[in-house]
Each structure stands twice: as C-alpha cells, then as structure tokens.
C-alpha cells in the first residue's frame, strides 16, 4: 500500500483561548505616591543611559555580543514567523499537564 503526503498552506490567525484576569500592581514612593520607574543603567560606566543610546544585540557568549539594527530582523528567514507546521495530533490524555501553558485557538484567516 502506497501513502502520499499532500502539503497545503492555510492562512490562520491565533486567538487566545483564555483571558488574563490577574491584578497588576505598580510601585509607588510612600512619601509622595510618585510612581517608581525602572532606569536603564550601563554596568561598565555605572551611569544612567538615555533611550537613544540603547541598542539591541544577541549574546553569542558571555563576552561576545553581536549588535543588531532595527532593519536586521526583517531580512532574517524566519519560517515560523507566519507559519506553523503541524506534524501530528495526539490525544489530550497523552499530554503532560505541566507542558500546557496558555491555550490558543487556530482559526482560518481568509479564503481557503
């Protein structure tokens, strides 16, 4: 018996299956109720850094960081950025509950 595989692409959208109802708190200074903010701080210069002085980078090793510009990610071939490959379906009973994080629905998006 011969089996064949058919590859098709169906546009989908991902919708959250759950809602986050957790309460989020902010930190305030007790003396004057001013909001406490996170400051950007350079470890080498031991000084606060302005937003325009901050870049992005990928840490290759503890001592090596490769600078990444805002344009660089657009040119990367990220096959998973807009597509997923479904390899198999398994019964729910075979999934360890510890592996289940947030749930999502996959819905058709556009004409098939």
Q: Quick: pLDDT tens for 60-92.
A: 888 899 998 878 777 766 655 566 777 888 888
pLDDT at 45: 93
User: What are the beta bridge partners of residue 12?
Assistant: 108
| pTM value surpassing 0.95 | no
pLDDT at 77: 66
Pick from 11, 6, 14, 7: nearest CA to 111:
11
Q: Quick: pLDDT tens for 41-65.
A: 998 999 999 989 999 988 888 889 9
Exposure b/e, 63-99, CB count within 10 A at least 16 = b: eeeeeeeeeeeeeeeeeeeeeeeeeeeeeeeeeeeee
pLDDT at 12: 81
């Amino acid at each position: 018996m011969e089996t064949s595989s058919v590859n098709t692409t169906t546009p989908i959208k991902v919708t959250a299956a759950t809602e986050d109802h957790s309460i989020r708190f902010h930190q305030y200074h007790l003396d004057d109720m001013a909001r406490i903010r996170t400051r950007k701080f350079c470890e080498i210069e031991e000084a606060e850094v302005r937003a325009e002085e901050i870049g992005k980078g990928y840490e290759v090793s503890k001592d090596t960081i490769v600078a990444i510009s805002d344009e660089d990610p657009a040119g990367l071939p990220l096959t998973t950025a807009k597509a997923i490959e479904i390899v198999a379906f398994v019964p729910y009973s075979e999934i360890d509950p510890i592996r289940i994080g947030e749930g999502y629905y996959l819905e058709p998006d556009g004409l098939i």
